[in-house]
Structure 1
């Protein structure tokens, strides 16, 4: 449903996207990558808030480089940016209602019904009449997600959506996104590998504007097979290790003396990809 071909975007001499090619369909795709990998730039291009330099994007048969088709695409997508803005003196209801008007939901009764629906989706019904400035950081993040859900979009683009959410809110977010991904395309950028493992059918790892891995979370974990170790003492030479809660040391890479193999996880595969890149 979404085709990205040879996409490039530069900021001065820095290539944020370097000939990136990717196809996306129904389901939840997680984007992983270090800061500066190009994740946010890619999402902004898909959300039509940033023009790319060259290449092609096509979503639902629409080309966002054409003004009329860009408008049609915007009607079919929802976008949660990394740093969503807000009007602090609006109530939560009024802010989402204002965004709903911008999204062409002009019938008052229908629009208010839709505002109440998305506030309920993110568990903010009880805060509907609270001023935005009085909401916690996690609540404001959920309010931004509610705005992205307006109009039941076919394409949902989420940039660092779980920032500021506590464990219970993150669990509810995962349940919501998993359900949404059954009938539409969801692409989210995150630094939380546990979110990728929990809800994404597909993971795309990026580095320096290119795709360095494209597969399942299990496939990413499998790339670390034979390179994850547990030992009672810290390794002498490795820089990729940490002390676990049980007092043992988890090492990635070459086997330290006396270490035993451990089951690899998504985080292990991702960290080793970063080192290789």
Structure 2
């Protein structure tokens, strides 16, 4: 399968701190999720792929183009939609003006063409009724939805989303999943998230990062089964340092060693993620 994103031996440092070290990663069509703790390198990787940052060493090809080449980088930016963690939205613009401004930057020169595009992307994120509202008056969730709309301007081939569901209420999160699953049928979507339920619902593939390296690459089901035989239900509060929490039925769910009277239960993506991080931390230590 032809790769839409091909990363070879990518490294990136901030001062003396190595954020990504020798990363190899290939991404093809569909929806791929990035999981990992804060500081794992996910955002840095996305910024490199979005051409916001240049890697220190290594090779990157996105949609067959080399971001290190000025002309190819300009061509690539026309085909990328990017939602950063903290999107820069101008508070004195209306919602429609903000999207129209991005459409101009994406070289949609016709006024009617831009108007149609503004209407299209605002409808995608359920902001049509807020088109004339100033950005500074939007709620946090609405601002996030506007950031997603901006990333969809000009129908990009490669969509990069960094924590896209932050601030969205449950209804809007479901609407987002519907949108992204549809886009993933024909486009390349790469999203970073802390929400394991979004990964389980949306992603055909998930890559887990820790300390600037990919420590897992597979399907959500394969990630869940990293905790096979290591997830338990018990009526007694566990002792020791295992990960556990009290569930609504009054029992305790434990990820790790078997507690007294523990009954094994089927793992979830979250269980597999927690167990994987625990295992890799032990190896690092």
Give TM-score, length-normalised by structure 2.
0.96
Please tell me whether residue 127 in structure 1 is matched to residue 91 in structure 2.
Answer: no
2:230 to 219, 227, 231: 227
Supply the distance in 1 between the matched residues of 2:157 and 2:240 (Cα, whole angstroms).
49
1:75 to 75, 78, 85: 78
Q: Secondary structure at the match of 2:23?
A: strand
Match of 1:87 in 2: 90
Please tell me whether residue 28 in structure 1 is matched to residue 34 in structure 2.
Answer: no
Equivalent residues in 2 for 1:168-247, closer than 5 Å: 168-247=171-250
Q: Secondary structure at the match of 1:78?
A: strand
Supply the distance in 2 between the matched residues of 1:257 and 1:107 (Cα, whole angstroms).
69
Supply the distance in 1 between the matched residues of 2:39 and 2:63 (Cα, whole angstroms).
28
Alpha-carbon displacement from aligned partner over 1:5-27 (angstroms, at most 9, x marks no partner): 11000011211111111110110
Alpha-carbon displacement from aligned partner over 1:95-148 (angstroms, at most 9, x marks no partner): 110111111111111111111100000000011011111111100100011010
Alpha-carbon displacement from aligned partner over 1:8-60 (angstroms, at most 9, x marks no partner): 00011211111111110110000000000000000000000001100011012
Residue 238 of structure 1, CA deviation: 3.1
Match of 1:154 in 2: 157
Supply the distance in 1 between the matched residues of 2:275 and 2:108 (Cα, whole angstroms).
47
Match of 1:66 in 2: 69
Contact 1:238 1:251 in 2 (8 A): no
Residue 2 of structure 1, CA deviation: 1.2
Residue 167 of structure 1, CA deviation: 0.1
2:271 to 254, 268, 271: 268
Residue 225 of structure 1, CA deviation: 0.3
Supply the distance in 2 between the matched residues of 1:220 and 1:86 (Cα, whole angstroms).
36
Equivalent residues in 2 for 1:93-132, closer than 5 Å: 93-132=96-135
Supply the distance in 2 between the matched residues of 1:68 and 1:266 (Cα, whole angstroms).
41
Supply the distance in 2 between the matched residues of 1:245 and 1:84 (Cα, whole angstroms).
37
Residue 239 of structure 1, CA deviation: 3.1
Match of 2:13 in 1: 10
Contact 2:242 2:256 in 1 (8 A): no
Supply the distance in 1 between the matched residues of 2:253 and 2:137 (Cα, whole angstroms).
42
Count, aligned residues:
277
Q: Secondary structure at the match of 2:179?
A: helix
Match of 2:283 in 1: none
Contact 1:224 1:264 in 2 (8 A): yes
Q: Which moved more, 1:8-17 or 1:164-173?
A: 8-17
The ranges of structure 1 where at least 4 consecutive aligned residues each deviate by more than 6 angstroms after the TM superposition are none
Please tell me whether residue 45 in structure 1 is matched to residue 48 in structure 2.
Answer: yes
1:248 to 243, 251, 276: 251
Q: Gaps spanning 5+ residues in structure 1: where?
A: none
